[in-house]
Amino acid sequence: AADGGEAVAAFNLGRIYLYGEGSIAINGKLAEQYLLQASKGLIVEAMVLLGKQKFFGWGGIEINYDQAEHWFSQATLYRQEAVAFYYLGRIYMEGLKGTKDQK
Q: What is the 3-state secondary structure (H, E, C) of the chain?
A: CHHHCCHHHHHHHHHHHHHCECCECCCHHHHHHHHHHHHHCCCHHHHHHHHHHHHHCHHHCCCCHHHHHHHHHHHHHHCCCHHHHHHHHHHHHCCCCCCCCCC
Q: What is the pTM of this model?
A: 0.88
Q: What is the pLDDT of residues 65-83, one digit of tens each?
A: 999 999 999 999 989 889 9
Q: What is the pLDDT of residues 85-101, one digit of tens each?
A: 999 999 999 999 876 55
